[in-house]
Structure 1
């Protein structure tokens, strides 16, 4: 039993009570003075969180943006059982990630604002940036999480400083970097349910006084565990094999110049997403009685493979009064094919196969080049600035196929090509009005051009037009201010605009090439960030309001499996976000996060086709289409909550701990129209982990569980002619061993 002094007990009790109430109470100097009256042990203080949300290293409390950080330790917990990037959904307020393609095509949403488009040329308003290089094509956004230093989630428009197409926000990954100091690294392996294996490791090797290398690798495997009752084959679906590697080389000859080179690749094979036709009970959003996620009735091939690679060079010069940066990136998709049977029924359902649909989509090649030059001032006075230029070039070639489901012979082949070129100039200024008040302003000009053509239309009689050329330019700006109320408490306010270039969707036999015009956003945000009780706790709270004009929306399904793009005149969003973490006692650390996200389509003229066999709750127009005015955006839960707790027990030679994490999201719409069956139920998922760490953190062994309550929820659907859905990841138990050297 751990003995504590009376003062220590009093401090712990007071901290626990005030931590729970801090979000609701006014924050002022009285709290800082009261906390300073007691000496808090350094071991139970929160570490200072440094982010690069403004392209500079800053304390998260001083950044005038709603930003969250996931550390390497938290990431290790949520991906230890082989999970992919979708596991970030709900781990910070206002973030959702989902996919109808499984591990290979994630779609991101921040504050309810995202894009459900599943065509391979889709763009997204949430930008994913890996090691300062934007990953524009959705296929690139699924690169697995391993040997990562941290992940930052920046909410709201970020276009004046980051990449392209960032009106909703940025998810920013930063790999662990090479070091010149010593040979070091880690290795980690886990085995879990369904023979799920996750093995990763990294080694850092100083090659000389000027050169260092860091090599990182990941191997993931899961057995097929879903039985195909059509063929009678056991364990024939929903497995995967994945491996990825990253090599980084650092050159730092002096304190003035350094260069970081990065080469990486990914290879994924396995089952495509398993769809369950007739899985949703008519007239409700429940799964049908007797539904078994371990069985599917699939009469066509179901597989997926992906190969990507890339490289980057980040150079910096630290000169008198200014820092210069050059960031060069290349990303390549060498092969992508997802071949799915989207009519596979749930066994026992009637009919098991309502109609035959076998499709495939893929990429023959995507080549993306990007270049950024940026200058950053180092003034000792109140004024500092950044300025730069950015260039982006993408050449994407993709296709979609249909098959005769009886013979599995190709029935049609449609191949398209899109060339996208964009360039921008940007700048920002920081001005310290006084010791307490900082003003920031940014401006960006963007020019974006896309050329889209149909390359092959084999056994597809397309509707004209079959090509499109669009070009758009736009100025964006932001203005923010940070006021330090005390040394531990800051208030901020921000207004920002954002821009997403026009998008293009391929033609088909029933729909011509469609072009969605550029969308713009104006966002208002204010918040408070504070360290409490001598850094034993930390709180951040923000409120926001935004309006998107000409939002690009994706119409899918209805009468056919075709993507069509439209624009909504306006979309309104508003909400709030809270993050709270701290030590309740020296042994118990807890966090609580939550968000309220209200979204609403504001366009009385907008209507879409609907499913034939579901219960549509929207009003209809004369053409029997659903009027979607007033509906929430798809995949936009109104409420999300995330909570974690870690309790540690010191032992003679190490530490035993128990860690738990939980996430909740309220119900969501799967499509632009609302229907009873395609409204996803609220989802709660929890994880539990118990482990032992010894030799000053050198070794760790743990047992873990993910989705420990075995919750089964429909998380997405296909809506034409049957009630087809796909579900969340299954419950999983496993063990992990990790070592550092």
Structure 2
């Protein structure tokens, strides 16, 4: 299969302190985090939003156990290696995934000698990273390894101009202890405990001129205009220029205007057990884990300050636990007929509580409207009408809070079997996995403030329970033409369970509440080989994938109530299915032209597209394509607008290229070196935001020296050497807030994510 491997040494060499930066070593892989919380993985053009509540498109494993990206991507230290496996996965381990898997293996204790490392890094962008690990063998059968991390940085380097210039800020502490037990040569076990505490405060960058969203309205009939918007005869509108959302900001300003924080806290405990028992003809293996996490999110939903002097608070607490276990029995013979069987179990429970401000804003009350003589019953525009004006201010805020409780209860059992036949250069392997997936998704919602309602279930009873029993699997044929050339052809079939909406509007059509399952069929052909006495290694893979009912998430979609089409409570995120196709080619070249020069180049071209799918969108102008032109409205008769799309599945380019190199200059006792890491992304268009992103050439350069026995290394580095400030994500049009009964308030800004500016730093590493 197609596999990229990043060793712990490579991660340390290229100062990869965040798992998301592993994408610099694997073409076609994109790991992003637009908010400081929602880690998103895209591989081969297939993406996944962790907020969509389904199994991921790219499954993540930490020490062989399925893990969530929110935790595993947060702390990167003392890693043995990371593998990126491409194409449908799930036959030989864990859970089914349509696009691939990422496995992270941490370093294990050494039973033979004391060894370890300590590494410290600091940069001119107020970032620091201190990490280390040490193995302590107490005997040839018992050893421990202790590792830890302290990391701090300014995340996206954004400062908030409305909060005194405060910067985004992150701090992470994590520790891990691993016990190793090897009572005999046939049995080895590792027990691992990891603690994580992360605290991220990330401001949302915006660009634009800002706006003066407040105005004044004339009263009519002697009635305060709080009850009389213009559509019903209210007087003319005048802008109140004394209140603005913020100053004009450009891409290079790295500025935010939100008046409240976006703080994400993660406290996690993970206990992991692994053992292998060699029974002679077969090996019995077990992996199991217990994870308990508590996530806290405090957020100002009005991130672009569309309503100045108002913080739309959202507080989310998500405590959850996940128990996972997998047992495998695999034959040990390499030639002839081999086999393997396994059983897998996973259960997740927990209750998320959301407390969100949904205040209603009315038009301003004219202070002397009730004193003035009424203008008559002919409307505010009548001749001689002398209405009153008043600023639209916060006293017209009608407080309303929404309390949402979301219990989580999901369980998966699966059983797999596989056969392998090897004779000389030919290997044929295939297998099936049968899964039983159960999920219960409910949501209780209550209101307090101007309206008070007791908790009520908002998910229809018929849509609360989901049970699926898919059969997944695959087959591979591999032929070794010579010791230096292998060819393979592979087929894979995967499945992802649909989901039920657990937040958002209470009254929408069933297609916006519950998605259907997704099924995937994939075909791949590849070559792997070496030339020039293995000084040159290469891989080439071509693939085709068909996704029936691909599960995706569409954010901030304007919706309308069927009982009151003119009223909306805001934009919401909806999951939806659509058919899609993916095809592409990947290649890599690893060379050592001389003993002191290493070079690696890899590239991927992926054409991942919807197949004329009808998908939720914002289509205010009724053009059939995404837009925010004019007054927010729903095109058609549904709760949301729908657009036909044959465009990209993910906000990624079709082509990507990665390269890295190291040139060494050996001396008597030390070796100076030059090291470089480059990623190229061409310009491309993203249909959901109707924006064309510029090309990016991200270059990281390292200059250093290390001892010839590899006991220490000192290097200076520059990340984003060319100081490119490129937009990587942007909202569709300017950000608005639909927090009012009448009208929508435009912030005058677009929300963006921009590549971090150039950063200089230094690292000192000791090993023993």
- TM-score category by the smaller chain? 0.7 to 0.9
Distance 1:455 1:558 in 2: 22
Q: How many residues align?
A: 653
Distance 2:253 2:417 in 1: 52
Does the Cα contact within 8 Å between 2:622 and 2:635 map onto a contact in 1? no
Does the Cα contact within 8 Å between 2:426 and 2:479 map onto a contact in 1? yes
Q: Does 1:474 align with 2:481?
A: no
Q: Does 1:543 align with 2:556?
A: no
Does the Cα contact within 8 Å between 1:90 and 1:665 map onto a contact in 2? no
Residue 173 of structure 1: aligned partner = 104
1:444-483 residue pairs with structure 2 within 5 A?
A: 444-459=433-448, 464-465=459-460, 468-483=464-479
Residue 193 of structure 1: aligned partner = 124
Choose from 639, 643, 646 the match for 1:630.
646
Distance 2:657 2:465 in 1: 43
Shift of 1:189: 0.1
Does the Cα contact within 8 Å between 1:557 and 1:563 map onto a contact in 2? yes
Shift of 1:451: 0.3
Shift of 1:510: 5.4
Does the Cα contact within 8 Å between 2:205 and 2:752 map onto a contact in 1? yes
Choose from 578, 594, 611 the match for 1:602.
611
**Secondary structure at the counterpart of residue 470 of structure 2:** strand
Does the Cα contact within 8 Å between 2:260 and 2:299 map onto a contact in 1? no
Distance 2:615 2:694 in 1: 24
Residue 767 of structure 2: aligned partner = 740
Does the Cα contact within 8 Å between 2:74 and 2:198 map onto a contact in 1? no
Residue 588 of structure 1: aligned partner = 597
Cα distance change on mapping 1:168 and 1:454 into 2, 3 Å: same
Shift of 1:664: 1.9
Choose from 295, 307, 313 the match for 2:267.
307
Does the Cα contact within 8 Å between 2:358 and 2:402 map onto a contact in 1? no
Cα distance change on mapping 1:289 and 1:599 into 2, 3 Å: same
Residue 531 of structure 2: aligned partner = 532
**Secondary structure at the counterpart of residue 675 of structure 2:** strand
Distance 1:153 1:532 in 2: 24
Residue 114 of structure 2: aligned partner = 183
Does the Cα contact within 8 Å between 1:106 and 1:142 map onto a contact in 2? yes
Residue 730 of structure 1: aligned partner = 757
Residue 516 of structure 1: aligned partner = 515
**Tell me, which stretches of 5 or more residues in structure 2 are unaligned?**
212-247, 360-393, 559-569, 628-633, 737-748
Residue 289 of structure 2: aligned partner = 329
Choose from 41, 46, 51 the match for 1:113.
46
Cα distance change on mapping 1:586 and 1:354 into 2, 3 Å: farther
Shift of 1:361: 5.5
Q: Deviations over 1:70-124 (max 9, x none)?
A: 11122113445xx42221234212211112332x3311111011223535x3431
**Secondary structure at the counterpart of residue 252 of structure 1:** strand
**Secondary structure at the counterpart of residue 375 of structure 1:** strand
Q: Does 1:492 align with 2:524?
A: no
Shift of 1:515: 1.8
Distance 1:397 1:388 in 2: 31
Residue 726 of structure 2: aligned partner = 713
Distance 1:649 1:695 in 2: 11
Does the Cα contact within 8 Å between 2:196 and 2:267 map onto a contact in 1? yes
Distance 1:414 1:118 in 2: 16
Q: Does 1:676 align with 2:703?
A: no
Shift of 1:507: 3.2
Cα distance change on mapping 1:358 and 1:731 into 2, 3 Å: farther
1:208-287 residue pairs with structure 2 within 5 A?
A: 208-222=139-153, 226-231=158-163, 233-234=164-165, 236-276=166-206, 278=208
Q: Does 1:133 align with 2:65?
A: yes
Residue 375 of structure 2: aligned partner = none
**Secondary structure at the counterpart of residue 71 of structure 2:** helix
Which range is displaced more, 660-669 or 181-190?
A: 660-669
Shift of 1:561: 3.6
Distance 1:613 1:89 in 2: 38
Cα distance change on mapping 1:516 and 1:357 into 2, 3 Å: farther
Cα distance change on mapping 1:595 and 1:445 into 2, 3 Å: same
Residue 318 of structure 1: aligned partner = 278
Shift of 1:618: 5.9
Residue 220 of structure 2: aligned partner = none
Q: Does 1:657 align with 2:684?
A: no
1:564-579 residue pairs with structure 2 within 5 A?
A: 564-568=574-578, 570-579=579-588
TM-score, reference length from structure 2: 0.80
Cα distance change on mapping 1:634 and 1:357 into 2, 3 Å: farther
**Secondary structure at the counterpart of residue 650 of structure 1:** coil
Cα distance change on mapping 1:130 and 1:607 into 2, 3 Å: closer
Q: Deviations over 1:410-445 (max 9, x none)?
A: 83232211211001001221101x311111111110
**Tell me, which stretches of 5 or more residues in structure 1 are unaligned?**
1-64, 282-287, 346-351
Distance 1:729 1:613 in 2: 35
Distance 2:291 2:46 in 1: 26
Cα distance change on mapping 1:201 and 1:342 into 2, 3 Å: farther
Distance 1:686 1:471 in 2: 48
Distance 1:220 1:724 in 2: 27
Does the Cα contact within 8 Å between 2:202 and 2:261 map onto a contact in 1? no
Cα distance change on mapping 1:590 and 1:631 into 2, 3 Å: same
**Secondary structure at the counterpart of residue 9 of structure 2:** helix
Residue 375 of structure 1: aligned partner = 329
Residue 714 of structure 2: aligned partner = 701
Does the Cα contact within 8 Å between 1:539 and 1:581 map onto a contact in 2? yes
Does the Cα contact within 8 Å between 2:404 and 2:445 map onto a contact in 1? yes
Cα distance change on mapping 1:616 and 1:701 into 2, 3 Å: farther
Q: Does 1:97 align with 2:97?
A: no
Distance 1:321 1:698 in 2: 41
Who wins on radius of gyration, i.e. which is larger?
A: 2
Does the Cα contact within 8 Å between 2:299 and 2:314 map onto a contact in 1? yes
Distance 1:217 1:641 in 2: 33
Distance 1:717 1:361 in 2: 25
1:396-415 residue pairs with structure 2 within 5 A?
A: 396-403=350-357, 411-415=401-405
Shift of 1:383: 1.2
Q: Deviations over 1:237-274 (max 9, x none)?
A: 21111111111000001111111001001111131342
Does the Cα contact within 8 Å between 1:280 and 1:724 map onto a contact in 2? no
Shift of 1:386: 1.3
Cα distance change on mapping 1:502 and 1:613 into 2, 3 Å: same
Q: Does 1:391 align with 2:322?
A: no
Does the Cα contact within 8 Å between 2:35 and 2:204 map onto a contact in 1? no
Distance 1:122 1:381 in 2: 40
Residue 68 of structure 1: aligned partner = 4
Cα distance change on mapping 1:291 and 1:551 into 2, 3 Å: closer
Q: Deviations over 1:129-186 (max 9, x none)?
A: 0101101x44234232111111100000112112114121100111111111011100
Q: Does 1:422 align with 2:352?
A: no
How big is the alpha-carbon RMSD for the aligned residues of Structure 1 and Structure 2?
A: 2.9
Cα distance change on mapping 1:142 and 1:458 into 2, 3 Å: farther
Residue 93 of structure 2: aligned partner = 162
